[in-house]
Each structure stands twice: as structure tokens, then as C-alpha cells.
């Protein structure tokens, strides 16, 4: 084999290996997009009164500001039960970088999609023992599962 034939052979091998690597990267990116964190949709108070579109298998995360030390907390008033199911109780965490007494926190609710359709999710910010008072705040979101 002369040096020119050898050079062509090596070049073809490099092109083939490069092509295989490129295909592997593209396939991996597609898999990550389908199976990565894209299945979680986060909404905050900014989305109050709007709508969100989800897909079967998605998780809806609702993060709302609360000052739990005052007795107020968010409660689900309408769960959009035809399209969503709550994942247990809400979690609470500092809204900023570090927690301090009396500081606003985020109450985080997680919901799994159940079925295709449209439902209305509503949460109310209230003190549970004040039965006859209107909520201090409400959060509503139209949820579409397609």
C-alpha cells in the first residue's frame, strides 16, 4: 500500500468515526429532550389568571409566595381533578437565598397529569381557622392537557 492509498484509507475511517459520533450526539440530545427535565412545568404568581398547556406524563409545579408564620397558607380550592392529581402535601422553602424569621417563603405544590382535557386549578391564600372570611389572595390557572 503506497502512502497516498494509506492516507485515503485513514481519511475515510476518520469521516466514518466522526459521522458515528455526530449521530450518537444527536440521538442522545433527542433522548434527553424527551426524557429529561422537560416534563416539569413551573408556574408562579406571575401566571395567575393565565393558562398552561401540559402533556400526559408532565408534572405541574406551582410555587406561590407565603408568609407561613402569619397563619396564612395556600390551600387547593379547585384541583382540576379531571386532568390533575396532587402529589401529596405542599413543600415550603425560602423564596430568597437564605431563610430568616418572618420572611416570605414559597409553598410548592406538585401535580401529575391524569388525562387529556381542560380544568381549572384554584388555590386560596387564607388562614384555615377563619372560616367566614374571604381569602387574602387567590391563584387560578386554566390547565390544558393535550
Express each pLDDT in 113-130 by its tens digit.
999 999 999 999 999 999
Torsion on CA atoms 48, 62, 124, 81, rounded to nearest 10: 100
Put simply, whether the predicted model's pTM sits higher than 0.95 gets the answer: no
Q: Please give the grid coordinates belonging to residue 21.
A: 459520533
Tell me how far apart the alpha carbons of residues 20 and 141 are, in angstroms, rounded to a whole number: 45
E strands present in 71-146: 73-79, 84-86, 91-94, 105-113, 117-126, 137-145
Counting as low any pLDDT under 70, the low residues of the chain are 1-38, 94-102
Chain segment 20-29, per-residue pLDDT in tens: 464 444 444 4
Q: Where are the domains of the chain?
A: 1-35, 39-145
Contact 46, 137 (CB under 8 A): no
d(CA 125, CA 136): 6
The three three-digit cell numbers of residue 107, written as one number: 409553598
Class for domain 39-145, per CATH?
Answer: mainly beta
Amino acid at each position: 500500500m503506497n502512502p497516498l492509498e494509506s492516507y485515503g484509507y485513514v481519511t475515510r475511517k476518520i469521516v466514518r468515526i466522526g459521522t458515528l459520533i455526530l449521530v450518537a450526539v444527536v440521538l442522545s440530545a433527542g433522548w434527553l429532550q424527551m426524557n429529561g427535565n422537560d416534563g416539569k412545568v413551573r408556574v408562579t404568581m406571575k401566571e395567575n389568571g393565565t393558562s398552561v398547556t401540559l402533556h400526559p406524563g408532565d408534572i405541574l409545579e406551582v410555587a406561590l409566595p407565603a408568609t407561613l408564620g402569619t397563619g396564612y397558607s395556600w390551600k387547593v380550592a379547585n384541583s382540576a381533578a379531571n386532568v390533575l392529581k396532587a402529589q401529596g402535601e405542599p413543600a415550603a422553602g425560602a423564596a430568597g437565598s437564605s431563610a430568616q424569621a418572618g420572611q416570605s417563603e414559597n409553598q410548592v405544590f406538585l401535580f401529575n397529569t391524569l388525562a387529556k382535557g381542560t380544568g381549572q386549578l384554584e388555590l386560596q391564600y387564607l388562614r384555615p381557622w377563619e372560616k367566614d372570611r374571604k381569602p387574602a389572595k387567590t391563584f387560578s390557572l386554566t390547565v390544558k392537557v393535550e
